[in-house]
Chain A
């Protein structure tokens, strides 16, 4: 019997919002990296056309969904890994000793983390629009938003899975270097992955962000490499699996000493 405790989820979400609001500089800082990619890569390669890039799309427009995907990837993994901070500062014990089901704790963490990640990505989209990027249609926007939610949930789940298996913060940099960056570069956020050597292709197809970014491109630019329905189906499947695994690992992890 698993109870879902709405009040606790709301409280965990509220805590995340308060903490985020009080660490505004960190949030602004984390928006800067995707923004720099967008501005510098975008303007540097402005006139470049890469092989396999869709017809009639300039590089900077091509890069906008990629930057949003990057923002979501980093922010969501970070949101899942927040559990490590709670472990480090002891607060996880306070949460774990309360009569709130582990599932509610996971859901509260998802709600808080995804809100932050989505807000940051929407901010990037808004800034792009300010500099002349035109969103195709309201439907396109909502499609893109749907994919944003799926990406956020998937990577919070992944972060949570890693955080549950890690004792302390030492593994954090490893996750960033050996998980987050490969996921990012293989996803087609910066360039069409068709040009990658075929030995890397299986990794591209295993990367959930590949489908996320393809779906975002379909929503925001109206072009995609794969069928958007296929993107949606695969990403949803991966999301459900990752979140389930993350929750199970979190539930069974000992809070320990």
Chain B
């Protein structure tokens, strides 16, 4: 049995079904990602699992506690890093952490020890005694991650941990998250709408669209579902069918002066393709390699890209947010 067991979770907001019967299991120590566009139901799912919202129907067990029957049990076992900042800006970083520790009933000596430990992890020790309002966005997010870990939760929930951060800061946050897995074996559940983030950080990814999980597996397996790499050659050949003679070429599509070859491990096949072309007097003017990404997976399962979905749903999203705030 996993540390999180979700069974047919549903959440309605008046006329909108934000989460539509989601089920999944997360194993202890796993890094689990929910990937999908804004408004897909990721945050709502997370809010239900962290007891901030009551589900309309369905059930979930988090760290052995039922999210409906034993909210305090769930609350004491989890940590949460929110999408929008949830810090007291008029307190210092250290005071925010101390506040958190006391709310979880931690003793003074333990608090001091843990504060040092988590601040070291996110490299904020030097700024610990400055007011949070003087922190940059990235520093605030790091402090929130530190705070989420303060009470050594069994499960840490991260809602869009790198939303709105610059590339460098994102990388650093990723490093901390990877470090977490290596040093503490905390179970992580994170939501994101960045493909690369899900790919980089998660052991398993659930692709969520319009309140439903449409695919769930390791990033690699999801990408394998899409199939092979595509090597596209720009060439003047007339008798391109000759490439079929190579047994590693699974399929070939011709469009204009380009041909696309479906192959496994494309980067290793390019030299062979070059040699073969040369031997057959085929002139190649350019080569392109495309490896399937989670974006392609998303496209495959939802028939749209995340960006298109977000553009199309932006009105609905606004609507959804104002409702959600109640």
Contact = CB atoms under 8 A, between A and B. Distances in A.
B252 to A, nearest CB: 49
Contacts, number: 87
B51 A7 contact: no
Contact of A11 (B52, B86, B99): B99
Interface magnitude class on chain B: 35 or more
Contact of B88 (A5, A15, A98, A100): A15
Interface stretch (A88-96, A147-155, A185-193): A88-96
Given A167-B326, A257-B43, A91 B104 contact: no
Nearest to B82: A93
B232 interface: no
A153 B144 CA distance: 33
Question: What secondary structure prevails in chain A residues at the interface with B?
Answer: loop
Nearest to A11: B102
Interface string A17-40: 011001100000000000000000
Contact of A8 (B53, B82, B87, B102): B102
Interface string B28-51: 000000000000000100010011
Interface magnitude class on chain A: 20 to 34
A225 B85 CA distance: 51
Interface in B42-76: 43, 47, 50-54, 72-73, 75-76
A256 interface: yes
A179 to B, nearest CB: 21
A202 to B, nearest CB: 34
A18 B326 contact: no
B91 interface: yes
B52 A18 contact: no
A41 interface: no
Nearest to A18: B91
6 cross-chain pairs, A with B, having the tightest CB-CB distances, nearest first: A257-B324, A90-B86, A99-B75, A99-B76, A98-B103, A11-B102
23 contacts: A7-B102, A10-B102, A11-B99, A11-B102, A11-B103, A18-B90, A18-B91, A19-B90, A22-B131, A90-B84, A93-B52, A94-B82, A94-B147, A97-B52, A97-B80, A98-B100, A98-B104, A99-B73, A99-B75, A254-B52, A255-B53, A256-B52, A257-B43
Interface of A: 3, 5, 7-8, 10-11, 15, 18-19, 22-23, 89-91, 93-101, 167-168, 254-257
